[in-house]
Chain A
Amino acid sequence: MNLRWAACCCAAVMTLASGCGGPLDPKTDDPETIVVHSRFAPGTSGADVYAAAVREFERENPGTHVKNVYSADDIFNVFETARLADKEADVMLVNLYDKSFSWTELGATLPVNKYLKEWNLTDRVRPGALKAWTDSEGRVRGFPWMGFNWPVLFNTELLAKAGIKEIPQTLPALRKTVKALRAKNITPMAIGGNDWSGQKLLMQIMQGYMEPPVAKRVFAKAGFCAEPQAMHGLKLFAQLRELGLFGKGAQGFTADEMNAEYFSERAAMMSALTSTIAAVPKGVGSRTEVGGFPMPEDGEYSKPSVYTGATSTGIWITPNGRKKIGKVEKLVKFLYRKSSVQRFIDDSGFALGLREQKGSAKFPLVTKSNRVSEGEDVERVVMPDSLVPAAASAPLNRATSIAFSPGASPQKICRALDVAYRS
């Protein structure tokens, strides 16, 4: 009995001791370690390339260790909480979106203007990318790194089944395509009507009748119902929805369902971000054509539209990173190096906002989408992400779901959008 009690007590003490002890991973923080917080968790898009790059960096810099911590959707909250406790990572690899817009202004991350100059990296960055990462006070929030293009993918085989030989470039052609696809029982366009993917498409179609300055003002401050151009755009969106452009239940779908529909060739079109394009199965990719979303002839854009941006992922330096700035400099310079950039382009299909890069041979569809998106055959509409206030981002997704619900009038949609900004 006593022996049993002694064994129980020993086990309890050992468990408690291990609980209060250090981490199980021997790679603990130390002055020689740069802690990097990112979304490149193993298994996610580009994670293998990132891990290989980190290994190479460590080989080149003996004694310097990179400790990676990963988060998913909650990365902004996790960083902010850690920052409050002064325990944030040294470097953040995250997009400029939602809460991160205010980080530099609040002192949660350092402006990198000084480092760009001192480390001679300014010339590596494309001017558009630098502008996208600069706030109204002239502070560069982070080192621009990855960007994106957001064209529309067309499955030419499904279009051919419906008797459509060319991808639609005008609104009448799009209407004809939708009707033909519907007649063959094919979903014309896959979309996640309940998340960011649907929100972007809604705002893209809406811009058909919106001048860029008006779009910027409305996206930043709302007032959709009071703005005739926005209402005109919403009317167009509602017409296309009622025509049957989207699949049944689109208002409840997310980007994952959207991808699954297009990847399994159940839908003929999809508005797709670069990282999604990189994930298109090879067989489907060979039957895919890239273009823009057709815009109204009496509207603001004379060509099909796409989104482009340079805010996918940036390299942010935190106050803790300043304490190890010498090592952070080495890491940033390594990630900005031509060979590193080209490796990300070649092996992960990412689009990077840096100069002197070649298209990826392994991801021909991404290369094609980059060429189309940056070419003369499409026009680039205003990207809402850098304008929409952080507090309205999540509520806007809920408003988007209303927009994709069958029967929702332009008035109902505009009210939902305006309410989202007041949430």
Chain B
Amino acid sequence: MIATASAPAPSPAPPARRGRRRTGGAGRTAAQVCAWLYALMLLLPLYYLLVSSFKTNAQIFSSPLSPPTSLSFEKFASAVSDARLDLAILNSLIVTVSSLIVVLVLALPASYALARADGRAAAVIERAFSLGFLIPTFAALVPTFLLAAQLDLFHTRTFLILFMPATSLPLAVVLLTQFMRTVPLEVEEAARMDGAGSLTILIRVYLPMVVPGIATVGILSFLTYWNEYLYSLVLIGPDRAQRTIQVAVPTLRSPLETDFGILAAGTVVTLLPVYVAYAFLQRRMEGAMIGSAVKI
């Protein structure tokens, strides 16, 4: 009886399980195919850039996606020496890192204050920061240029270092405020009972707990600053000693005759620091995103 009772019981189950597994497997395969296709779509331009860096113009135009016939790094060397990409990378790093420091120094205390304030004024200020998203970048170009000229900071990196944090401050404040709101109030109260002041609480309590948020703001701001072209071109100008990499690379293009291999190599060089930064901050940023998703 036990045998009869137990024997037939598993028999109907397997078909159902097999069916479910089949459906899930097909869905998973489709999802994987889509993910791979998407990854390929993202990788294709990178692949094109990379292989073009080893080719002549004739090879680039006749067979754009074929692998290169030689792996000489001559075009990379030409790109670096012709456009002084070494100086340009250094300039870009100075501008980007300095701007990052300024934006974090300003955004962290502001976000802490907004996260912990519950008055009407705080809500208005927070919304005012959100309004910053509504200003189109291009619309601010002429007034910004006039300001730089008036301050006698035109054709200097200094102005860009002061200006770029202003453009990304709204996003940084809005993001960091949300992160800081996730810190339990009790932790802050405990710190205050131990005699900690607001600055100590921000540095010792909040900063370690919102590192994923800082990483998110850091990587987003880094990408914005590093890839910025229009303002860098207009405000810093063409001087090799000061220009950023995004301004330097287009000089590899000539209106009459361009070596696209050298141009591609120069572009690859500009991408490298972005990948390095992303590789450093990737886990923190993904952690922050997953954390937000779980909370939702």
Tell me the A residues contacting B by CB distance below 8 Å.
12, 15-16, 18-20, 23-25, 27-28, 37, 39, 41-45, 69-74, 78, 81-82, 84-87, 255-257, 259-261, 263-264, 266, 273, 275-276, 279
Measured between alpha carbons, how far is A43 from B80 in the docked complex, in Å?
11
Task: Knowing A20-B157, A84-B149 are in contact, say whether A71-B251 is a contact too (CB < 8 A).
Answer: yes
Partner of A42, one of B81, B149, B238: B81
Instruction: Determine if B154 and A15 form an interchain contact, defined as CB atoms under 8 angstroms apart.
Output: no
Instruction: Determine if A71 and B238 form an interchain contact, defined as CB atoms under 8 angstroms apart.
Output: yes
Task: Knowing A69-B238, A87-B155 are in contact, say whether A74-B250 is a contact too (CB < 8 A).
Answer: yes
Q: Which of B90-98, B172-180, B267-275, B276-284 contacts A (4 or more CB under 8 A)?
A: B90-98
Interface residues of B in 219-268 (CB under 8 A from A): 233-234, 237-242, 250-260, 262
- Identity of the chain A residue whose Cβ is nearest the Cβ of B249 in the assembled complex: A72
Additional pairs, 7, CB under 8 Å, beyond known A25-B240, A43-B82: A19-B158, A41-B251, A71-B238, A85-B155, A87-B237, A264-B62, A266-B62
Partner of B61, one of A37, A45, A74, A261: A261
Instruction: Determine if B255 and A72 form an interchain contact, defined as CB atoms under 8 angstroms apart.
Output: yes
Instruction: Determine if A20 and B158 form an interchain contact, defined as CB atoms under 8 angstroms apart.
Output: yes
- Identity of the chain B residue whose Cβ is nearest the Cβ of A1 in the assembled complex: B204
Instruction: Determine if B155 and A263 form an interchain contact, defined as CB atoms under 8 angstroms apart.
Output: no
Partner of A43, one of B94, B161, B259: B259
Measured between alpha carbons, how far is A15 from B158 in the docked complex, in Å?
11
Instruction: Determine if B239 and A69 form an interchain contact, defined as CB atoms under 8 angstroms apart.
Output: yes
Instruction: Determine if A42 and B83 form an interchain contact, defined as CB atoms under 8 angstroms apart.
Output: yes
Instruction: Determine if A73 and B255 form an interchain contact, defined as CB atoms under 8 angstroms apart.
Output: yes
- Identity of the chain B residue whose Cβ is nearest the Cβ of A26 in the assembled complex: B241
What are some 21 contacts across the A-B interface (CB < 8 A)? A23-B239, A25-B241, A37-B238, A41-B252, A43-B78, A43-B82, A43-B252, A43-B259, A69-B240, A72-B252, A72-B254, A72-B255, A73-B255, A78-B233, A81-B145, A81-B237, A84-B145, A257-B61, A264-B58, A273-B256, A276-B257
Q: Is B32's CB within 8 Å of the partner chain A?
A: no
Instruction: Determine if B145 and A24 form an interchain contact, defined as CB atoms under 8 angstroms apart.
Output: no
Instruction: Determine if B241 and A28 form an interchain contact, defined as CB atoms under 8 angstroms apart.
Output: yes
**Chain B contacts for A45, CB-based, 8 A:** 254, 256-257
- Identity of the chain A residue whose Cβ is nearest the Cβ of B235 in the assembled complex: A81
Task: Knowing A24-B90, A71-B251 are in contact, say whether A43-B237 is a contact too (CB < 8 A).
Answer: no
**Chain B contacts for A78, CB-based, 8 A:** 233-234, 237-238
Measured between alpha carbons, how far is A51 from B8 in the docked complex, in Å?
92
Measured between alpha carbons, how far is A73 from B247 in the docked complex, in Å?
12
The 9 closest A-B pairs by CB, nearest first: A25-B241, A23-B241, A43-B82, A19-B98, A85-B149, A264-B58, A42-B82, A260-B61, A85-B154
- Identity of the chain A residue whose Cβ is nearest the Cβ of B93 in the assembled complex: A15
Majority SS of interface residues in chain B? helix
Tell me the B residues contacting A by CB distance below 8 Å.
57-58, 60-62, 78, 81-83, 87, 90-91, 94-95, 97-98, 101-102, 145, 148-149, 154-158, 161, 233-234, 237-242, 250-260, 262
Q: How far is the CB of B123 from chain A (nearest CB, A)?
A: 32
Q: How far is the CB of B256 from chain A (nearest CB, A)?
A: 5
**Chain B contacts for A279, CB-based, 8 A:** 257
Measured between alpha carbons, how far is A85 from B155 in the docked complex, in Å?
9
Measured between alpha carbons, how far is A19 from B98 in the docked complex, in Å?
7
**Chain A contacts for B60, CB-based, 8 A:** 260
**Chain A contacts for B157, CB-based, 8 A:** 19-20
**Chain A contacts for B242, CB-based, 8 A:** 23-24
**Chain B contacts for A23, CB-based, 8 A:** 239, 241-242
**Chain B contacts for A44, CB-based, 8 A:** 254, 257
Instruction: Determine if A73 and B154 form an interchain contact, defined as CB atoms under 8 angstroms apart.
Output: no
**Chain A contacts for B90, CB-based, 8 A:** 24
**Chain A contacts for B259, CB-based, 8 A:** 43
Q: How far is the CB of B201 from chain A (nearest CB, A)?
A: 16
**Chain A contacts for B94, CB-based, 8 A:** 15, 18-19
Instruction: Determine if A20 and B161 form an interchain contact, defined as CB atoms under 8 angstroms apart.
Output: yes
Measured between alpha carbons, how far is A84 from B154 in the docked complex, in Å?
10
- Identity of the chain A residue whose Cβ is nearest the Cβ of B79 in the assembled complex: A43
**Chain A contacts for B82, CB-based, 8 A:** 41-43
Partner of B161, one of A19, A86, A264: A19
Instruction: Determine if A15 and B101 form an interchain contact, defined as CB atoms under 8 angstroms apart.
Output: yes
Q: How far is the CB of B91 from chain A (nearest CB, A)?
A: 7
Q: How far is the CB of A392 from chain B (nearest CB, A)?
A: 18
Measured between alpha carbons, how far is A205 from B293 in the docked complex, in Å?
64
Instruction: Determine if B233 and A74 form an interchain contact, defined as CB atoms under 8 angstroms apart.
Output: yes
Measured between alpha carbons, how far is A24 from B238 in the docked complex, in Å?
14
Measured between alpha carbons, how far is A41 from B95 in the docked complex, in Å?
23
**Chain A contacts for B237, CB-based, 8 A:** 69, 78, 81-82, 87
**Chain A contacts for B250, CB-based, 8 A:** 72-74
Measured between alpha carbons, how far is A261 from B57 in the docked complex, in Å?
10
Measured between alpha carbons, how far is A81 from B148 in the docked complex, in Å?
12
- Identity of the chain B residue whose Cβ is nearest the Cβ of A78 in the assembled complex: B238
- Identity of the chain A residue whose Cβ is nearest the Cβ of B204 in the assembled complex: A1
Measured between alpha carbons, how far is A44 from B145 in the docked complex, in Å?
30
